[in-house]
Copies of this chain bind each other. A is one copy, B any other.
């Protein structure tokens, strides 16, 4: 059993904790929090051992009636690997602590790429990360993860001459009351390309991709408007079939009545997904259009969820010999990731529901 610690129990940390706890070959040793708020209380109710992220705040937990099992160093001494889910930038400051304790660490995509020895996306760089025998690996961000999953099969099947993506990013997560914008769509950054294209190249080096990013006053999901100039001229149906074969892509059937992030989340909750999480890229079947060698489509990425299975696979890539495909399959099965499990029992992902609704 791989003993896993989670440092930071926010949006990503709480989800990675649940995902680790669900794996047959992993044991969640504990999680850290900086303060004893509602999320700490909920973690305890899930039976997770709580460690104080900042040692001299342990008495705050005592005062709140929350037993702590120790502080971060105690957790590090008890695990085989730590997943850093701290706010962006804090992870970089934590790296030396992890090194001092000799614990391999998985970082999140909010950190700069140089926080770690290698960047990770399960679809494109599992083997490379294992071969690098890195002690520190960064799972790329939600947007980059989504793009890697989308572009990799296109590159393999048709070759990519150039990808151009506009990212309409959510302003903040649902609980982040201090984020914006509130009534604007803001180029962010206003310079083009954004960092996302280069970040894709950390896990998919040979694809030429430019990205332009904005922020919108929404909280549920990011939206990508994608153009890929291919080196071949497949039909739109062939591209849909290609995507349908990728378990971490969900091709939303035309006629399902899902017109945006709100209904996507509603569907996830209808299906009993924990926290309404969508681990898959969600792309609209009817948006897939091929004009000459130009492919177009819209997809949404759930910023709270899509990197979660990636973190699980990153752990296996670092500290086990489980082959990539087996790890991904194990993760998918344990969590219930997959297009098939979303909309069809027989593996047919298009048209389980009338297209002429």
Contact B219 A262 (CB under 8 A): yes
Query: Is A174 in contact with chain B by the CB < 8 A criterion?
Result: yes
In the complex, identify which listed stretch (A37-45, A121-129, A284-292, A331-339) lies at the interface while the others stay far away. Answer: A37-45
Find the B residue at minimum CB distance from A14: B270
Evaluate contact between A260 and B177: CB separation under 8 angstroms: yes
Copies in the complex: 2
Chain A interface (Cβ < 8 Å from any Cβ of B): 14, 35-43, 45, 60, 63-66, 173-177, 183, 219-220, 255-260, 262-263, 265-267, 269-272, 274-276, 343, 352-354, 356-357
Q: Is B275 a contact partner of A274 (Cβ separation < 8 A)?
A: no
Complex A-B: 11 CB contacts under 8 Å: A38-B256, A38-B258, A39-B270, A43-B270, A45-B271, A64-B255, A64-B354, A173-B262, A174-B266, A272-B274, A276-B276
Top 7 closest pairs, chain A to chain B, by CB: A37-B257, A42-B270, A64-B354, A175-B262, A269-B275, A175-B263, A174-B262
Residues of B within 8 A of A39 (CB): 257, 266-267, 270
Q: A149 vs B38: C-alpha distance in the bound complex, in angstroms?
A: 24
Chain B residues with Cβ below 8 Å from A174 are 220, 262, 265-266
A270 neighbours in B (Cβ, 8 Å): 14, 38-39, 42-43, 275
Asked if A354 contacts B63 (CB within 8 A), the reply is yes
Contacts beyond the supplied A65-B353, A269-B274, A269-B275: 15 A-B pairs with Cβ under 8 Å? A14-B270, A36-B354, A38-B343, A41-B256, A42-B271, A45-B271, A60-B354, A60-B357, A63-B354, A63-B356, A64-B353, A174-B265, A175-B266, A177-B259, A183-B183
Min Cβ gap A63→B in Å is 5
A37's partner among B36, B41, B256 (CB-CB below 8 A) is B256
A215 → B minimal CB distance (Å): 16
CB pair B357–A35 under 8 Å, yes or no, is yes
Please give, as numbers and ranges, the residues of chain B lying within 8 Å of A255 by CB-CB distance: 37, 64
Q: Which residue of B lies closest to A271 (CB)?
A: B42
Please, which residues of chain B bring their CB within 8 A of the CB of A275?
269-270, 276
Q: Bound complex: CA of A115 vs CA of B133, how far in Å?
A: 70
Contact across chains for A36 and B176 when beta carbons are under 8 A apart: no
Write the nearest CB–CB distance from A272 to chain B, whole angstroms. 7
